Amino acid sequence: MQDVARLANVSTKTVSNVINGNPKATEETKQRVLEAIDLLGYRLNVTARNLRQGRTGQISLAIPELKNPYFGELADLVLEEAKSYGLKVLVQQTNFDREAELAILEGAQALGVDGVIFSPLLLGPADARYFHVDFPLVLIGESVFDVGLDHVSMSNVEAARAATEHLIDIGCRKIALIGSDPDEERGASGLRLRGYKEALTAHGLPVDRTLIAGTDRWHSDKGAAAVSTLLAKDAGIDGIVALNDLLAFGAIHELSRHGRRVPQDVAVVGFDDTEAAGYSLPSLSSVNPGRADIARNSVRFLHERITQSSGAHAAEPPRLYMAPFEVIQRDTTTPEGAQPRA
């Protein structure tokens, strides 16, 4: 760094400002420093810098499962975003285990990470005390209550309502929902159920509890089993809102096995807009919940908390960011392929 400073005719502090993106350096000075860095082949010793700052340069991402494509794709985006901040990511899977989720809140220091991005599912308001941690923590997902932490989430109610209204717009009138418990209120399941009910009510359609099929996991086999149950009731469904894409894939498989055409007989919309949605046969209409925005802002929030943890901004109030969503229409709800419905 001293060699760079001498060549650029600036102080080592100025070189440090340029390397760390400090806006104090003028454009002309910044250019001289960057040219000196290129000429000398200078490379920042990240390990030394982290040790000096009392950091490891590593964060943790704690998610329920990697088997679910949504979380796998989210993890990929978080890794890429963290790279832009010079951070490495340790990915942990809690696997729907309450004790594993509690361990995330208790074990950050033992893992040697500077902060954690955490998607809890099983912790509730009675566990609020566990969230009072002494390391930077950003929450993602929906099963989160007010614990005074930064939170990055998606518009579950509004998105599920839009997905249901999409089916109504193409003529569906007996719309089932798979993946939710009619009595659940908290978490993604309960929020998406609320959006489904709001859409039906707003359009003068009854909320029929027999058309709401719950599942304990959001996997394809559970979606197939839920549709099998609905078909056994001879409910006459002509549309399905699946609470994630895996459930939707299972639903489509089961509909086909029973001779029901998609979308001619039953239109299907999923949630998450995973990569596979565009390549299934038929391709799946799905809600894009803003996964890239969730990854980008969760890493940004955490990085800011890490760098501010000992500074004047450490006591800034918690932030809530709601990612934008979009209903992506594909073959499973293409109006041209569906028959007119009364």
Q: pTM for this structure?
A: 0.80
- pLDDT at 174 > cutoff 80: yes
Which region among 233-237, 278-282, 333-337 has the lowest average model confidence (pLDDT)? 333-337
**What percent of the chain clears pLDDT 90, i.e. is strictly above it?**
64
Backbone phi and psi for residue 253, each to the nearest 5 degrees, phi listed first = -60, -45
How far apart (Å, rounded) are the C-alpha atoms in residues 123 and 143?
Answer: 8
Cβ neighbours of residue 186 under 8 Å, at least 6 residues apart?
Answer: 124, 143, 145
Nearest 5°: CA angle at 88, between 104 and 188?
A: 45
> Residue 36 corresponds to which amino acid?
A
Residues 131/105, Cβ–Cβ less than 8 Å: yes
What is the pLDDT at residue 44?
61
How far apart (Å, rounded) are the C-alpha atoms in residues 267 and 337?
Answer: 9
Q: What is the mean pLDDT of residues 159-166?
A: 98
Q: What is the CATH number of domain 56-154+290-324?
A: 3.40.50.2300
Which one-letter DSSP state was computed for residue 339?
A: P
Residues 96/63, Cβ–Cβ less than 8 Å: no
Backbone phi and psi for residue 135, each to the nearest 5 degrees, phi listed first = -140, 155
What is the pLDDT at residue 340?
43
- pLDDT at 60 > cutoff 70: yes
Q: What is the mean pLDDT of residues 314-338?
A: 86
How far apart (Å, rounded) are the C-alpha atoms in residues 262 and 211?
Answer: 18
What pLDDT, in 10s, does the model give residues 255-265? Answer: 999 999 999 99
Q: How does strand 285-288 pair with strand 326-328?
A: antiparallel
How far apart (Å, rounded) are the C-alpha atoms in residues 298 and 102?
Answer: 20
Which runs of consecutive H residues, i.e. helices, occur in 9-113?
A: 12-19, 27-40, 46-53, 69-83, 98-106, 108-111
Tokens of 326: 């979009």
- pLDDT at 313 > cutoff 50: no
What are the residue ranges spanned by the domains of the chain? 2-44, 56-154+290-324, 156-289+327-337
- pLDDT at 48 > cutoff 90: no
What pLDDT, in 10s, does the model give residues 200-243? Answer: 999 999 999 999 999 988 999 999 999 999 999 887 999 999 99
pLDDT band at 309 (very low <50, low <70, confident <90, very high): low
How many other CB atoms sit within 10 Å of the CB of residue 22? 12
Cβ neighbours of residue 183 under 8 Å, at least 6 residues apart?
Answer: none
- The full length of the chain comes to 342
What is the pLDDT at residue 12?
85
Q: Between 298 and 111, whose confidence is greater? A: 298
- pLDDT at 342 > cutoff 60: no
What pLDDT, in 10s, does the model give residues 75-92? Answer: 999 999 999 999 999 999
What is the pLDDT at residue 290?
96
Which runs of consecutive H residues, i.e. helices, occur in the chain?
A: 2-8, 12-19, 27-40, 46-53, 69-83, 98-106, 108-111, 156-169, 187-202, 220-232, 245-257, 291-308
pLDDT band at 108 (very low <50, low <70, confident <90, very high): low
Residues 237/211, Cβ–Cβ less than 8 Å: yes
Q: What is the CATH number of domain 2-44?
A: 1.10.260.40
How many other CB atoms sit within 10 Å of the CB of residue 323? 21
Tokens of 228: 């099998």
How far apart (Å, rounded) are the C-alpha atoms in residues 162 and 287?
Answer: 9
Which region among 41-45, 139-143, 247-251, 326-330 has the lowest average model confidence (pLDDT)? 41-45
Residues 213/222, Cβ–Cβ less than 8 Å: no
The yes-or-no answer to whether 56-154+290-324 and 156-289+327-337 have a common fold is: yes
**Residues facing residue 47 across a β-bridge:** none
Q: Which helix (H) or strand (E) holds 186?
A: none
Its CATH class, for the domain covering 156-289+327-337, is alpha beta
What is the pLDDT at residue 2?
86
Nearest to 179 by CA among 142, 222, 141: 222
Q: At what angle do helices 156-169 and 187-202 cross, to 10 degrees?
A: 40
Residue bearing tokens 């964060």: 59
What is the pLDDT at residue 336?
62
How many other CB atoms sit within 10 Å of the CB of residue 138? 26
Q: Between 145 and 263, whose confidence is greater? A: 263
- pLDDT at 303 > cutoff 80: yes
How far the first Cα of the chain sits from its last, in Å, is 75
Mean pLDDT of the chain: 88
- pLDDT at 69 > cutoff 90: yes
SS3 22: coil
How far apart (Å, rounded) are the C-alpha atoms in residues 278 and 145?
Answer: 34
- pLDDT at 305 > cutoff 60: yes
Q: Between 186 and 101, whose confidence is greater? A: 101
**What percent of the chain clears pLDDT 70, i.e. is strictly above it?**
87
What is the pLDDT at residue 19?
78
